[in-house]
Amino acid sequence: MAMKTLDTTDAQIAYTDEGRGDNVVLLLHGSFSADWFAPVGRRLADEGYRVLRVHRAGYGQSKDLAGGVSVQAHADHAAKVLEDAGARHAHVVGHSSGASIALQLAHARPDLVRSLTLLETAFPYAPDEPKNPAMPLAIEAAREGDYERGFDLFLGGVSGPDFRKVFIRELGENGLREAEASSRYFFTQEAPALGAWHFGPVEAAHVTAPVLLIVGGEGERLNTPHAARSAQLFSWIPQSEIQVLQGLSHALPLEDPTLIATTIKKFIDHRSQ
């Protein structure tokens, strides 16, 4: 599928525009791969939605021209994609760091967000979250210049030892290699930007759209922080709900794209009636 591109002051953003329908879905992927949502997006387009799937700055075919893009800037890029596509608003879906960007968009531009679906949101931190060693060990490996080891430590720690097989099954060998190649950008540019982002109860009060917080049930076994982070958002946003998908981990958009697409569809359809 041909990519569309738009230029901003700090980035060149590529996105796909697939499917037709009155309901527009904007997909914001997580770290490492621009294609986390590729299988989900195809399924949603087949279900009659117009799907805008963004390659965030620094990933895939998009370029970070600033040498480090803030969460606020990523959200601004998403708003510009909607404008470029002629969409007045959208049902916004984010995964991991993309979920944090979706939150920022809903805070800054509530007029653009009809509903918000957040899969295993990466930030903000929760005070009671379990301390998973995956991220500190991954950062240490990256500081030593071993980005591939950092990639393995991080995704293995939050998704389990079979995450590479999942990538290859859904995205092929090239998809896995592209994700590995993006590790340097994540550790040197995106991770610091995410760490500098603040989102608390005051910001959450500006989120007016209904919110679905999706958590992978395998996170409890893997001792990941995402359930606690989602629970914190649930306590801040009264129009939110949590759904736990058993048998899935942080890699849930690739582990079961059919279930993820179906879950998103049910939430959107209920809110569009």
pLDDT one-digit tens code per residue, 71-81: 999 999 999 99
Place 51 in a pLDDT band, splitting at 50, 70 and 90: very high
Q: Residue 227: what pLDDT?
A: 97
How far is 170 from 155, CA to CA, in rounded Å? 16
Q: Residue 28: what pLDDT?
A: 98
Closest CA to 226 of 99, 41, 37: 99
Tokens 């999706």 sit on residue: 214
Give Cβ neighbours of residue 54 (< 8 Å, ≥ 6 apart).
13, 14, 15, 26, 27, 28, 29, 62, 77, 78, 81
Give Cβ neighbours of residue 13 (< 8 Å, ≥ 6 apart).
5, 6, 7, 54, 55, 56, 57, 62, 77, 80, 81
Token pair, residue 86, equals 């002629």
What is the 8-class DSSP label of residue 157? H
Q: Which of 133-137, 152-156, 206-210 has the least mean pLDDT?
A: 133-137
What is the pLDDT averaged over residues 147-176?
A: 97
pLDDT one-digit tens code per residue, 114-129: 999 999 999 999 999 9
Strand boundaries in the chain, DSSP class E: 4-7, 11-18, 24-28, 50-55, 63-64, 90-95, 113-119, 211-216, 240-245
Give Cβ neighbours of residue 261 (< 8 Å, ≥ 6 apart).
40, 43, 44, 47
- Domains of the chain with bracketed CATH: 4-130+200-271 (3.40.50.1820)
Q: Residue 40: what pLDDT?
A: 98
Partner residues linked to 93 by β-bridges: 27, 117
Tell whether the model's pLDDT for residue 90 goes beyond 90. Answer: yes
Tell whether the model's pLDDT for residue 273 goes beyond 70. Answer: no
How far is 153 from 186, CA to CA, in rounded Å? 14
**Which amino acid, one-letter code, is at 18?**
E
Burial degree of 22 (CB within 10 A; 0-12, 13-18, 19+):
exposed
Helix axes 163-181, 38-46, angle to 10 degrees: 110
| Beta carbons of 239 and 210 less than 8 angstroms apart | yes
pTM for this prediction? 0.97
Q: Residue 8: what pLDDT?
A: 96
Closest CA to 201 of 240, 227, 175, 172: 240
Q: Residue 68: what pLDDT?
A: 87
pLDDT one-digit tens code per residue, 95-152: 999 999 999 999 999 999 999 999 999 999 999 999 988 889 999 999 999 999 999 9
Q: Residue 220: what pLDDT?
A: 96
What is the rounded average pLDDT for all residues in the chain? 96
How far is 59 from 181, CA to CA, in rounded Å? 10
pLDDT one-digit tens code per residue, 242-272: 999 999 999 999 999 999 999 999 999 987 7
How far is 194 from 125, CA to CA, in rounded Å? 11
What is the pLDDT averaged over residues 229-250?
A: 98
Tell whether the model's pLDDT for residue 67 goes beyond 90. Answer: no
Q: Residue 2: what pLDDT?
A: 78
